[in-house]
Amino acid sequence: MNSSNKCQWEVSEAEAGTRLDKWLAAAERLGSRSRALTAIERGRIFIDDLEQGSSDAARKLQPGETVRLWMDRPGTAQKRYYERQDAGLHLLYEDQSLLVINKPAGLLTVPLPAQPDEPSLLDQLRRYLRPQGKREPLVVHRIDRDTTGIVLFAKTHAAQQQLKSQFESHEATRVYLAVVYGHPNPAAGTWRDLLTWDRKELKQQRAKKRPERAKEAVCRYRLVERFKDSALIEVTLVTGKRNQIRVQAGLRGHPLVGEKIYVYEAPPPKLIRFNRQALHAYRLGFHHPIDGRHMEFESAPPDDFQQLLRQLREVTA
């Protein structure tokens, strides 16, 4: 720390909550926001010995943290990739430990044993990583074939294990948007069911008793927008069972628009045409498996989902 190209500061109580880039831009430090952002992007800023990247520029500082500038650090910062289209993939984020992908409708997350030749997101990632000499992509969680939105993969077994543990302990945040028939009442609440996977029918069933294989499924919902015969709802998963939102909404008489399996009552008198279940995984939050920093990603619903909302608003107006 005595080298002339290294400086370090301690965050005071009065400075707590200030953005990292703004704090570094102060006259007594780097003197401008552009210099601060350049230093962050080039891997020259460390907080308590953890390198900071572009996604950390907006992080809020905590009192007592030590911020270090290493101006002449040899080499370049650890390579991080941000949102882009590459090899047919919509990548929201990539680094040496993980990949965050925005999955389109009609694509499996992973191959099905009964349909090994069916295209999947996992296969696409294998092709993307293979020329770079990188490891096999590792599954952290999945979403249904016709559900769109954010899916997380790991690049190492250590990262996969750490990320999966966050999902299993309900630390990860998974938020979906869905269009359902009817208007859930109350407008916000919790759905809680015992579900069991029917291996013959290949779908979830509500457990009549509490058999050994039954698992508790829990999610929180809130009504976002009310239409004439339907509603846009936001659903936050507490647990993450297969087809969970689809089955829990259907069990309460609010099947998803476009749903073909989990419809427990007679079809609504006025059918809303949509080619898939109207479900989109739009927000995912977790802690980075290596340095523990909080990461959160959002993905706007795709064009078909947006068009559905416009049509429902026109009918309601």
State pTM to two decimals: 0.74
Q: pLDDT confidence of 116, banded at 50, 70, 90?
A: confident
Give the chain's domain count: 3
In the predicted structure, residue 79 carries a pLDDT above the cut 70: no
> What beta strand segments (E) does the chain contain?
6-10, 45-47, 50-51, 66-70, 81-86, 89-94, 98-103, 138-139, 148-154, 173-181, 188-198, 203-206, 215-226, 230-237, 279-287, 294-298
* Whether 202 and 311 share a structural domain: yes
Which whole number is the average pLDDT over 53-81?
76
Catalytic site includes residue 144: yes
Note the pLDDT tens digit of each residue in 124-169: 999 999 876 667 899 999 999 999 999 999 999 999 999 999 999 9
Check residue 86 and give its pLDDT: 82
pLDDT of residue 44: 84
271 and 210 in one domain? yes
Statement to judge: residues 50 and 92 lie in one domain: no
Q: Are strands 45-47 and 50-51 parallel, antiparallel or unpaired?
A: antiparallel
Average pLDDT over residues 180-205: 87
Per-residue pLDDT averaged across 238-250, rounded? 93
DSSP assignment of 161-191: HHHHHHHHTT-SEEEEEEEEES--SSSEEEE
144, 291, 303, 304: which one is catalytic?
A: 144
Q: Are residues 242 and 312 in the same domain?
A: yes
In this structure, are 205 and 147 located in the same domain?
A: no
Clarify whether residues 209 and 151 are in a common domain: no
In a domain, 152, yes or no: yes
| Whether residue 208 has pLDDT greater than 80 | no
For range 233-246, the mean pLDDT:
94
Predicted confidence (pLDDT) at residue 213 exceeds the cutoff of 80: no
CATH classification of the domain holding 146: 3.30.2350.10
> Of the candidates 169, 186, 221, which is a domain's last residue?
169
pLDDT bucket at 89, cuts 50 / 70 / 90: very high
Give yes or no: residues 191 and 155 share one domain. Answer: no
Say yes or no to pLDDT of 190 above 90: yes
Question: 263 and 192 in one domain?
Answer: yes
State whether 311 and 180 are in the same domain. Answer: yes
Q: What percentage of the chain reaches a pLDDT higher than 90?
A: 61
Residue 137 sits in which domain range? 81-169
**Which of 141, 169, 197 marks a domain boundary?**
169
Say yes or no: 311 and 206 in one domain: yes
